[in-house]
Copies of this chain bind each other. A is one copy, B any other.
Amino acid sequence: MDVPAQPRTQAPPARIRIQLPRPTIEEGRWPIKRTVGDTIAVSADVFRDGHEVLRAVVRYRGNGDRRWSEAPMVPLDAHHNGVRWAGEFTIGSVGPAQWTVQAWVDVFAGWRDEIARKLEAGQIDMSGETSEGLVILREAAERASGDDRSALEATVAALESGEPVALALDANLAAIMERVAERSEVTELAKPLDVYVDRELARFGAWYELFPRSFGGFRGVQEQLPRLAELGFDVLYLPPIHPIGHTNRKGRNNTLVAGPGDPGSPWAIGDEHGGHDAIHADLGTFEDFDALVAAAKEHGIEIALDFAIQCSADHPWLTEHPEWFNRRPDGTLKYAENPPKKYQDIYNVNWNSEDWHGLWQALYDVLRGWVDRGVTVFRVDNPHTKPVAFWRWLIAEIRRDNPEVIFLAEAFTRRAVMRELAKIGFSQSYTYFTWKNSGWELIEYVGELAHTEEAQYFRPNFFVNTPDILTDYLSHGGPPAFPVRLVLASTLSPSYGVYSGYEHFEHEQRPGSEEYLDNEKYELKQRRLDGPLLPMVQRLNHVRRENPALQRLENVRFLETDNEALISYAKREGSNVVVCIVNVDFTWAQEGACHVPYDLGVPPAFVVTDLLTGDRFDWHVGRNYVRLDPSERAAHVLRVETP
């Protein structure tokens, strides 16, 4: 129990209390997340015993700032002497930032307030009050200069000569005192609160995933860049590009024995030519890779690499650092498994190794090497199966020199664990989106992500599919289901992703599984960017860039539709308002009404433009008829046209 000791300091303990600052995560335990240029709205309870007039500011400091800046805070309910104060600030640099609240007593304002109330109540003898004011004004005059000083001295002289104290109520005097008065009883939060400020890409981006071997290696991928840029993708994510093990290599469809031509899973990392810091010879050279990264940047695209901590039996670390791997007492090596599931082609590292320190450093060195080659986005494979403390350390270490690096957590696991990974530093996370297919599931899930404390730290990246995930909804729904999920992902979440093949409506599952039949993980494919869904992808990516409302998550608001197969939501950012209506039933046409609430901030009657078709409709506050036939279209993405 924290029993305060007998007071011994010279000054009495602070009388101003500053409590419950927001936004915070668990009262400030973890940094909240924002992106560069965001306005951060903050608030706190500020109060003190007595009738003094309080002032407050928010103080903040971005990465690299030597000094703190200040922005005003105002009481939200001054009339009722409310305790809640609010303010806002903007940080322009990427990296760790801090803010705090400072409050103080405005002695002059308190005195002024007191005499005003007494004069209004008709008090005649104000000599005692005047003597108090004179002390305040004389002290201020000494600190002031120029006109301010002259004015203060004149006021002092007037009061000394017996002029009525009412002259001190002059607004000009208040303005002078605001400039020259010293802050009294200055109090701040016990410690500043943390913000991690990311690049905008951490919040808003369209991801495309492809296997470079299916496009002819790095050079082949480089040829696709103009098309990918035209399609509007921001990130091109590549599964592991390292040598693939031979021992126990998986065959097609995850079979235990690979055929002679089978390339193996890229996640079985390492062979005699190298491990996590090497490149698979079939994909190209380091020069080819560097060229790809550079060319992508020129097209406004970032190459994201996969960071997967596991090794094939042929990875150099198994012989160089056998102490980093789990061995049974009988000497056998333990391959990765989740009994009864087995991953015979890979070995996990032993996090309890006596040389855990060397292991951590080696993994850091791997990542550092790719960052130094210009890679600043990583999709981290299964972070939840590695120690949280390791990730916290690794991310902080990398960001010490490269605060711009973005980490996407590929964690499909228990909610609390996914949240924890986000709190300790991951910029984004994969989500349960693929399995939220009905309207109510989406409303519940997105509502939690957008409107609870989770919104301060957990940034979802809504992938419509992954090499591991082809859901029953897509598999059973076939081509009509694909645009539904595409529109939902790209308009609900500012970050979303598509894995190659989606645009071709690939929807055949390996029997008994949620995986693709003839999964690209285990075989070589020949792919081209010519899928029939790509025009819609391109259109949506364009719409997302043109409409700031679609670049945020926390602004989502779900609307009534009178039909549970129709999900509708509005997003507003400044004057940009977008309303989406999606028919999640891929079989039947659905009718309903989109209820535009009176407090959405739109005119009573207005025009909406369907950003997917260019159609225009007359809409109004209240119920607006909608009908969506999956054979024609999956959704309306409507922009409210302001007159």
Given known contacts A26-B27, A117-B339, A329-B134, is B47 in contact with A351 (CB within 8 Å)? no
Most buried by B among A13, A338, A397: A13
Query: In the complex, are the beta carbons of A128 and B49 less than 8 A apart?
Result: no
Chain B proximity mask over A274-310: 1 for CB below 8 Å, otherwise 0: 0000000000000000000000000000000000000
Q: Is the Cβ of B414 less than 8 Å from the Cβ of A82?
A: yes
Question: What residues on B are CB-neighbors of A50 within 8 Å?
Answer: 385
CB pair A1–B98 under 8 Å, yes or no, is yes
Q: Contact: B1 with A393, CB < 8 Å?
A: no
Chain B residues with CB under 8 A of A340: 117-118, 120-121, 123
| Nearest CB of chain B from residue A47's CB, rounded to whole Å | 6
Per-residue contact bits, chain A 21-61, to B (CB 8 Å; 1 contact, 0 not)? 00000110101000000000000010101110000000000
On chain B, the residues within 8 Å of A118 by CB distance are 339-340
Would you give the shortest CB distance from A227 to chain B, in whole angstroms? Answer: 40
In the assembled complex, the Cα of A397 lies from the Cα of B81 at a distance in Å of 32
Complex Cα–Cα for A393 and B31 (A): 32
On chain B, the residues within 8 Å of A389 by CB distance are 4, 7, 12-15
Structural contact, B393 and A45, CB atoms closer than 8 A = no
A602 at interface, CB cutoff 8 A = no
Q: When the two chains form their complex, are residues A6 and B388 in contact, meaning their CB atoms are under 8 A apart?
A: no
A351 partner, pick from B3, B6, B12, B123, beta carbons under 8 A? B12
Chain B residue nearest to A122 (CB atoms) is B340
B352 touches A3 (CB 8 A): no
Q: A132-B329, A134-B329, A328-B131 are in contact. Are A51 and B6 (CB under 8 A)?
A: no
Q: Which residues of B contact A12 (CB under 8 A)?
A: 351-352, 356, 387, 389
Is there a chain B Cβ closer than 8 Å to A616's Cβ? Answer: no
A196 to B1, CA, bound (A): 9
Cβ of A460 to closest chain B Cβ, rounded Å:
20
Residues of B within 8 A of A384 (CB): 49
In the assembled complex, which residues on chain B have CB atoms less than 8 Å from the CB atom of A124? none
Q: Which residues of B contact A387 (CB under 8 A)?
A: 12-13, 15, 49
Q: Is A319 an interface residue (CB 8 A)?
A: no
CA separation between A136 and B98, bound complex, in Å? 49
Please name all residues of chain B whose beta carbon is closer than 8 Å to the beta carbon of A339 when the two chains form the complex: 51, 113-114, 117-118, 121
Find residues 362-398 in chain A having any chain B CB closer than 8 Å to their own CB.
384-390, 392-393, 396-397
In contact, A2 and B194 (Cβ under 8 angstroms): yes
Contacts A27-B29, A120-B340, A416-B45; A393 near B132 (Cβ below 8 A): no
B7–A393 contact, CB under 8 A?
A: yes
**In the bound complex, what is the Cα–Cα distance between A397 and B7 (angstroms)?**
11
A388 touches B127 (CB 8 A): no
Q: What residues of B have a CB within 8 angstroms of the CB of A134 in the complex?
A: 329
Given contacts A388-B49, A414-B81, A417-B83, contact A26 B15 (CB under 8 A): no
Is the C-beta of A88 less than 8 angstroms from some C-beta in chain B?
Answer: no
User: CB within 8 Å of B: which of A78-124?
Assistant: 81-84, 96, 98, 113-114, 117-118, 120-121, 123
A47 neighbours in B (Cβ, 8 Å): 414, 416-417, 420
A513 CB to nearest chain B CB (Å): 17
A170 within 8 A of B: no
Of B26, B114, B330, B351, the residue contacting A128 (CB under 8 A) is: B330
Q: Does A334 contact B (CB under 8 A)?
A: yes
Chain B residues in 8 Å Cβ range of A84: 416
Residue A255 is within 8 A (CB to CB) of chain B in the complex: no
A158 interfacial contact with B, CB 8 Å: no
CB of A440 within 8 Å of the partner chain: no
Q: Does A157 contact B (CB under 8 A)?
A: no
Complex: A6 Cα to B328 Cα, angstroms: 30
A452 at the interface (CB under 8 A from B): no
A360 adjacent to chain B (CB < 8 Å): yes
Residues on B with C-beta less than 8 A from A352 are 12
Query: Complex: how many Å from CA A356 to CA B397?
Result: 48
Check: A66 CB closer than 8 A to any chain B CB.
no
A67 at the B interface (CB under 8 A): no
Whether, in the assembled complex, A135 has its beta carbon less than 8 Å from a beta carbon of chain B, the answer is yes
Cβ of A475 < 8 Å from any Cβ of B? no
**How far does the Cβ of A7 sit from chain B's closest Cβ, in whole Å?**
6
- The 15 listed contacts between A and B (C-beta, < 8 Å) are A1-B31, A2-B194, A3-B396, A6-B393, A7-B357, A7-B393, A17-B388, A19-B416, A19-B420, A20-B416, A26-B27, A49-B351, A49-B388, A51-B338, A120-B340
CB-based closest 9 A-B pairs:
A121-B340, A1-B96, A13-B389, A131-B330, A117-B339, A131-B329, A12-B356, A83-B416, A3-B396
17 further interface pairs, Cβ-Cβ under 8 Å (given A7-B393, A12-B356, A128-B328): A7-B360, A12-B351, A15-B389, A20-B26, A20-B416, A26-B27, A47-B414, A47-B416, A47-B420, A49-B387, A49-B388, A50-B385, A113-B339, A117-B340, A127-B330, A128-B330, A134-B329
A residues with a Cβ closer than 8 A to B are 1-4, 6-8, 12-15, 17, 19-20, 26-27, 29, 31, 45, 47, 49-51, 81-84, 96, 98, 113-114, 117-118, 120-121, 123, 127-129, 131-132, 134-135, 194, 196, 328-330, 332, 334, 338-340, 351-352, 356-357, 360, 384-390, 392-393, 396-397, 400, 414, 416-417, 420
